[in-house]
Amino acid sequence: MATQTPHRPVVGIFWMLATGLCFIAVTALVKSMGTRVPPAESAFLRYILGLVFLIPAVGALRRAHLTPRQWKLFGLRGFMHGLGVILWFYAMARIPIADVTAMNYLAPIYVTIGAALFLGERLAVRRIAAILVALLGAFLILRPGFREVGSGHIAMLFTAVAFGGSYLTAKIMADEVKPAVVVAMLSIFVTITLAPFALANWVTPTLGELAVLFGVACFATAGHFTMTLAFAAAPLTVTQPVTFAQLIWAVLLGYIVFDEAIDIWVVVGGLTILASIVFITLREAALKRGETTPMVHAPKG
């Protein structure tokens, strides 16, 4: 009988905190890019520079015998994720970091809705209530009629939808192929998806901009790695609440580095969304979830 891997909550919390720092570094670097380079091109350069990190996965890719259906699903996921990345880069250059971080928490909520619609998962009354609470959190962030809702905010709403679709597709593929193949195929297809958008409005980047985007690729890859270590060390019920630290760091980063005003309603809205995610995660654990979709708060860039 196989022994179960022991839970190490302290280790899991440490790695999730490290994940948050990596993702905040990604947002800071993207924010520093400004708007000179179009968002699609920035995203494309970030992904093509990051392909170097796929070298260890070459063997797994060569051994993978994908069916036509799997190729189509990988292509669909790459397209959805690619659009989400473009919108995320667009939003990062136009609205405060705290707003982007808080609205990113909507993606797991869309995953929950999508799992019910497309994967046949049951939406109990409590989960529906948690979704409504999350939508209330989004309303607190946007506050239409009380603040200017910019194009960056609208972009983030669609970003969360695109990433939610990407994560749902990943759920399907994770049951069929190795994780290394899932990650590698995402990077490849996102790069392919971004290429025509980038070439349509190409601006020659400087060496400094290329260096920044390579830094984005490095921190994003490191964030994925530390997040995997966190999930391996402790259950989601332990690691998921730790993601609230990303919002705190985002607020401080925006205030100290980018001179962005602290909007308490953005913080409250983000924590409201996160609270609903944690509630859903705890409920799934209590019900001994086996086939339900995990809550994912993954990177954007």
Amino acid at 25: A
**Residue 293 covered by a domain:** no
**In the prediction, which pLDDT does 46 show?**
94
Neighbouring-strand partners of residue 144: 147
Q: How many residues does the chain have?
A: 301
**In the prediction, which pLDDT does 1 show?**
42
Which of 173, 147, 132 is CA-nearest to residue 95? Answer: 147
C-alpha distances (whole Å) from 48 to each of 11, 44, 106, 187, 224 are: 32, 6, 27, 8, 17
**Residue 4 covered by a domain:** no
Which residues span the domain enclosing 23? 9-286
Amino acid at 291: E
**In the prediction, which pLDDT does 291 show?**
45
**Residue 146 covered by a domain:** yes
Indicate the burial class of 286 (C-beta count within 10 angstroms; 0-12, 13-18, 19 or more). exposed
**In the prediction, which pLDDT does 99 show?**
92
The answer to whether 280 touches 127, Cβ cutoff 8 Å, is: yes
Phi, psi of 78 (to 5 degrees): -60, -40
**In the prediction, which pLDDT does 171 show?**
77
Measured from the Cβ of residue 202, the count of other Cβ atoms closer than 10 Å reads 12
Neighbouring-strand partners of residue 147: 144
Residues 220 and 54: their CA atoms lie apart, in Å, by: 13
Which of 74, 108, 165 is CA-nearest to residue 281? Answer: 108
What's 227-288 look like in SS3?
Answer: HHHHHHHCCHHHHHHHHHHHHHHHHHHHHHCCCCCCCHHHHHHHHHHHHHHHHHHHHHHHCC
C-alpha distances (whole Å) from 233 to each of 11, 44, 212 are: 6, 33, 31
CA geometry: angle at 224 spanning 239 and 19, to 5°? 50
**Residue 71 covered by a domain:** yes
**In the prediction, which pLDDT does 210 show?**
96
Measured from the Cβ of residue 157, the count of other Cβ atoms closer than 10 Å reads 16
**Residue 59 covered by a domain:** yes
From first to last of the 301 residues of the chain, give the pLDDT tens digit.
Answer: 444 556 788 888 898 899 989 999 999 999 999 889 999 999 999 999 999 988 888 888 888 888 899 999 999 999 999 999 999 999 998 899 999 989 988 888 888 888 788 777 777 788 888 889 988 998 899 888 777 788 999 999 999 999 988 888 887 887 788 877 888 888 999 999 999 999 999 999 999 999 999 999 999 988 888 887 887 787 767 777 788 888 888 999 999 999 999 899 999 999 999 888 888 877 776 665 444 444 555 555 6
Amino acid at 156: M
Neighbour-count burial for 4-38, b at 16+ CB within 10 Å, e otherwise: eeeeeeeebbbbbbbbbbbbbbbbbbbbebeeebb
Q: Helix, strand or coil for residue 64?
A: coil
Residues 237 and 214: their CA atoms lie apart, in Å, by: 33
**In the block, which residue shows the tokens 């667009």?**
90
Phi, psi of 144 (to 5 degrees): -60, 135
**In the prediction, which pLDDT does 300 show?**
59
**Residue 294 covered by a domain:** no
**Residue 239 covered by a domain:** yes
**In the prediction, which pLDDT does 214 show?**
96
- When divided into structural domains, the chain yields a total of 1
C-alpha distances (whole Å) from 38 to each of 42, 49, 51, 205 are: 6, 17, 20, 10
| DSSP string for residues in 93-143 | TTS-HHHHHHHHTHHHHHHHHHHHHHS-----HHHHHHHHHHHHHHHHHH-
**Residue 118 covered by a domain:** yes
**In the prediction, which pLDDT does 49 show?**
93
**pTM of the entire structure?**
0.83
**In the prediction, which pLDDT does 212 show?**
95
**In the prediction, which pLDDT does 278 show?**
83
